[in-house]
Amino acid sequence: MELRDGFIVGVHNYCDRWCERCAFTSYCRVFAAAAEMDASFDPNLKAIVEAPPLERPQPAMPAWMHEMTADDAASTMSDEEWERYRPRILPEHQPVDARATTYATRLGEWLKAHDGARPWTTDPQCAEIVWFSTVIAMKINRALNVMPDDDESEQAWSSDQNGSAKVALIAIERSHAAWRDLVECAVTSPDEAQPFVADLAWLHEALERVRSNARRFVRPGFDEPDEVARLC
């Protein structure tokens, strides 16, 4: 685990974006930036937010870095080049991405039909289903996107695709458990839950197959309990 300025490097890349339930907000640079922005709108915190930063000596930029920066500024990518090099989802993986999107869309439509009905506005299992539906779609899309020159057969188990897939798998499992709890508690009927549960089961199996090394990915902070314990 790498710390930089008191923040865990990369912790925000492999979380579920549910800051209210996260134990790592005090080590998350993204959360700190969002909190600072919110505080800027609070007149009681205006003096703190607008206080000048501590002055620290900045190391001189090496000559090679100046050259690289100048080269980057001078170079532009044409539409044709961007189309050639942009990340994309392989054709054989597109059904997985499409089904994840369909799950989130159908769930949104179903919830709209139940707008304001209890317990969808109060039940914690319902809240998990709603929250994770978009997480599943976003993380699966990120897990399936590859660069044109990526070698799928030699993909490192520590890749970003595997990290994103691991987050998606965890979200799928928690969503599946939440649906099961709702049925057992008679909050919703088996017939209503079945199409969504079927989507989750299919996505889980497909993602495990496409990103078979996802479970081995070590998420900064979340999968490093010994290192986190030393922070306390």
C-alpha dist (Å) from residue 111 to 27, 130, 139, 181? 34, 9, 22, 17
Q: Which of 178, 232, 219 is nearest to 1 (CA)?
A: 219
- What's residue 75's pLDDT? 55
- What's residue 102's pLDDT? 94
The dihedrals phi and psi of 8, each to the nearest 5 degrees, come to: -75, 120
If phi over 0 gives left and psi between -120 and 50 gives alpha, with beta otherwise, what is residue 153? alpha
C-alpha dist (Å) from residue 175 to 1, 96, 197, 211, 218? 28, 17, 9, 20, 22
- What's residue 81's pLDDT? 62
Residue 118 scores a pLDDT above 50: yes
pLDDT (average), residues 177-196: 90
Beta strand residue intervals within 12-161, DSSP E: 88-89, 145-146
Both tokens assigned to 85: 């090099």
pLDDT (average), residues 12-38: 85
Q: How many residues does the chain have?
A: 232
Looking up tokens 């009681």 gives: 44
Which helix (H) or strand (E) covers residue 146, if one does?
strand 145-146
Domains, the chain, ordered by start: 3-54 (no CATH), 88-216 (1.20.1440.60)
pLDDT (average), residues 193-198: 94
CA 193 to chain centre: 25
Residue 141 scores a pLDDT above 90: yes
How far the first Cα of the chain sits from its last, in Å, is: 14
DSSP-based three-state secondary structure for 145: strand
pLDDT (average), residues 34-44: 68
Instruction: Report whether 129 contacts 18 (CB < 8 A).
Output: no
Banded model confidence at residue 201, pLDDT cuts 50, 70, 90: very high
Question: How many percent of the chain have pLDDT more than 70?
Answer: 70
Q: Lowest mean pLDDT: which of 18-32, 52-66, 85-99, 212-226?
A: 52-66
As a whole number of angstroms, the distance between CA 164 and CA 162 comes to 5
Banded model confidence at residue 188, pLDDT cuts 50, 70, 90: confident
pLDDT (average), residues 122-127: 77
As a whole number of angstroms, the distance between CA 1 and CA 10 comes to 9
Looking up tokens 């490192």 gives: 156
Beta bridge partners of 3: 8
pLDDT digits (tens, 9 = 90+) for 59-84: 454 443 444 455 554 456 666 665 66
